[in-house]
Chains A and B, each alone.
Chain A
Amino acid sequence: QKEVEQDPGPLSVPEGAIVSLNCTYSNSAFQYFMWYRQYSRKGPELLMYTYSSGNKEDGRFTAQVDKSSKYISLFIRDSQPSDSATYLCAMSESMNTGFQKLVFGTGTRLLVSP
C-alpha cells in the first residue's frame, strides 16, 4: 500500500461546477500538505500549501487538512476549462529529513468542459 492514495480519475465536470479532489495518507508524521497542478507535458506547479490541520483559501481554491482522519481535500469553485489538468497532492514530514522530501499521490486528472 502506498503512503499516499489518490483516485486517478478522470473526473469530468461542466464549467462552473464545484470540484472536490481528495487524498488519504498513512504516515502520521506528515505535517506539510501541498497541492500541485500539472498540465500535459509540463512540470508540476504549486497551488496550495497547508501546515498541519485546518483550512486555507486562495481565490477559487480551498485546501483542507484533517489529520485525525489522514485526509486532505482541494476544492475548486466556479471551475473553468483552463483548470483542466492533473492535480497532485504532496506531503512531507517535519524534522526527520531536514529538507522538504515530498511524497506525491498518483494525481487526479480533471476535465472541465465548456
Chain B
Amino acid sequence: GAGVSQSPRYKVAKRGQDVALRCDPISGHVSLFWYQQALGQGPEFLTYFQNEAQLDKSGLPSDRFFAERPEGSVSTLKIQRTQQEDSAVYLCASSPLAGDLTDTQYFGPGTRLTVL
C-alpha cells in the first residue's frame, strides 16, 4: 500500500511569505506527527494529532506556525511570514494507533523549505 506522502517536495519562499505544507498519512492511521529537520540535525518534534484533535503543539517554534487535521486524515502545516531560520525539511509521520508508546511511526519523504 501507499506510504505517507507529502507535497510539495520542495518549496522556495521569499521572506515574509506564507506557506502551506501538506501531509497525506497512511489510510486509517490515527496518529499524525510533524517534525522539523534542520540541515545536519535530527528531526525535532513539532506537533501531534490523534484523529482531528491536536493533543500536543509544544514543539511549534512560534505562533507563526499552525497545524490542522480537520477531518482526521490529511494534515496541513502552515507557516506565516516565513523567516530564514524556518528553512528546513518538514517531515510528517503517521502511526496506526492512538497513545501506544510502542507503535511504529512511518515517515514521509519530507518537504524541503528554503526561505530566501
Contact = CB atoms under 8 A, between A and B. Distances in A.
B109 interface: yes
A102 B102 contact: no
Given A42-B109, A46-B105, A101-B48, A106 B41 contact: yes
A49 B102 contact: yes
Interface residues on B, range: 20 to 34
B42 A105 contact: yes
A47 to B, nearest CB: 11
| Interface size class, chain A | 20 to 34
A104 interface: yes
Interface string A4-44: 10101000000000000000000000011000000001111
A32 B104 CA distance: 12
A32 B41 contact: no
Contacts of B42: 4, 6, 88, 90, 104-107
